[in-house]
Structure 1
Amino acid sequence: MAYALQWLRSLVFLVAIYGGMAVIGILFFPWAMLSRKGARAACLTWCRWVRWSAGWMVGLKTEVRGTPPQGEVIIASKHQSFLDIILIFGAVPAGKFIMKRELLWAPVLGQYAMRIGCVPVNRGKRGAAISQMLKDVDRGAIEPGQLIIYPQGTRVAPGVKAPYKVGAALLYQQSGQPCVPAATNVGLFWPRKGIYRKPGTAVVEFLPVIEPGLSKHAFLARLEQEVETASEALHQEAVPHAQD
């Protein structure tokens, strides 16, 4: 009975947040078309709406730990579900994502992603995707901000192993910018697929900066070790609550 009730609450929550996306997208549309500031304000408003709604509708609290970066950096994060996107974007002043090209066709989401400066890539052609990503980043380098990349390339469920791909290392080397790793446990509460949302506290944690200058292999090894270790610690911290 308790599971069925939480599932129903989760369904209502999802309807509410995606309905809210449509409403906020329409209300902010004129400002967003005139200014990226308007597009970013719309996205931040929706992120706040999701976090607030999750707390009282499904009992899912959210927390951002560490120091969110403010300047021009790369953020390389563990990716477990849509929730880590929301938490990271809402925590930084000018975030933009390396995202799969298919999302451009998503209603509201795709249009606003382009307005805030996200960089779409074709994941089906790995070599070409990396080359195009670097060119697109170069073209957008005049706009300061935090470029967010998921080095495993896709959502990975808690406890599942997946390789860290070379794109993040190439971006780190080409840009000459510091990299801020980020860990998370959000997949325990908001999974990759399905409707059910578990109560508890979902966390994104910004980790110490990796300064420029490392080789590609050294960077990837350090990034993977730090992100996976911190994510596992958050996982263990949350497991008793996630199993309730």
Structure 2
Amino acid sequence: MGQAIQWLRSLFFVLFIYGFMAVWGLLFAPWAAVSRKGARAACKSYCKVVLWTARVMVGIRTEVRGTPPQDEVLIAAKHQSFLDILIIFDAVPWPKFIMKRELLWTPVIGLYAKRLGCVPIDRSKRGAALAKMVRDVAAEVAEPGQLIIYPQGTRVAPGDHRPYKSGPGVLYRELGQPCVPVATNVGLFWPRSGVMRRPGLGVVEFLDPILPGLSRTELTAELERVVEAKSNALMREAGFDPDAVH
């Protein structure tokens, strides 16, 4: 019975957050269309409402550990579900994402992604996509912001492993900025797919910055080492052994 009730709560929660996204996005659209501050205000307030609702409706509490960067940096984050996007967006002042190109054509999300300065990438054309990504990021470099990229390129379920891609290393070398790794365990409570949301403490942790000076391959290896180790530690803290999956 408890599982059935939690599933129903989760269903109502999912319906609410996406319905609210549409209403909130349309409400702020006139301001967002003419001002990045308007787009940022809409998205920041949306994150706060969803994080509060997640705690009240389905029992997911959230916590930010470490020091969220305030300056111009590259953020390379573990990605397990929509929840880590919300927490990171809420935690840093001017976030903008490297995102798959298809999202630009999504109602509401596409408008705000463009206004926030997010950088689309065509994952089907890897070599050309990396070159275009560097050009697009350079075009936005005058705008303030923390550029967020997911080194594994997609959401990865707890216990699964996907190799870290070269994108963060390319940007790290081209931008000459520190890279801030981010670990998480949120996929244990808010999975990458499906309706069910499970009560617990979802953590996003900002790790020590990696200063400029490494090669692309060195940066990729260091990111994988620190992000995977800390994410696994956070999952074990929550009672899940990522090694047991294999």
TM, length-normalised to structure 2: 0.96
After alignment, is 87-96 or 15-24 more displaced?
A: 15-24
Task: Summarize deviations over 1:167-205 as a string: whole Å, max 9, x none.
Answer: 110100000000000000010011111000000010100
Cross-structure match for 2:220: 220
Cross-structure match for 2:42: 42
Query: What is the CA-CA distance between 1:105 and the residue it aligns to?
Result: 1.5
Query: What is the CA-CA distance between 1:62 and the residue it aligns to?
Result: 0.8
The answer to whether residue 26 in structure 2 is matched with residue 22 in structure 1 is no
Task: Summarize deviations over 1:10-63 as a string: whole Å, max 9, x none.
Answer: 000011111111111111111111210000000001000110000010011111
Cross-structure match for 2:208: 208
Cross-structure match for 1:80: 80
> d(CA) in 2 for partners of 1:69 and 1:112?
22
Letter in 1 for 2:225: Q
- Output aligned runs, 1:1-244, within 5 Å: 1-239=1-239
Letter in 2 for 1:210: I
Letter in 2 for 1:183: A
Task: Summarize deviations over 1:76-124 as a string: whole Å, max 9, x none.
Answer: 0000011101100110000000000011111111111111000000001
Query: What is the CA-CA distance between 1:208 and the residue it aligns to?
Result: 0.3
Identity %: 65
Query: What is the CA-CA distance between 1:128 and the residue it aligns to?
Result: 1.0
> d(CA) in 1 for partners of 2:52 and 2:178?
32
SS at structure 2 position matched to 1:195? coil
RMSD: 0.8
> d(CA) in 1 for partners of 2:166 and 2:121?
14
SS at structure 2 position matched to 1:37? helix
Letter in 2 for 1:217: T
Letter in 2 for 1:89: F
Letter in 2 for 1:145: G
> d(CA) in 2 for partners of 1:199 and 1:105?
33
> d(CA) in 1 for partners of 2:12 and 2:208?
38
Cross-structure match for 2:244: none
> d(CA) in 1 for partners of 2:154 and 2:236?
22
| Gapped regions of structure 1 (runs ≥ 5) | none
> d(CA) in 2 for partners of 1:217 and 1:39?
35
Q: How many residues align?
A: 240
Letter in 1 for 2:67: T
> d(CA) in 2 for partners of 1:174 and 1:91?
25
> d(CA) in 2 for partners of 1:215 and 1:168?
11
> d(CA) in 2 for partners of 1:76 and 1:65?
15
Task: Summarize deviations over 1:197-231 as a string: whole Å, max 9, x none.
Answer: 00001010000000001111111111110000000
SS at structure 2 position matched to 1:239? coil
Cross-structure match for 2:243: none
SS at structure 2 position matched to 1:155? coil
Letter in 2 for 1:146: Q
Letter in 2 for 1:60: I
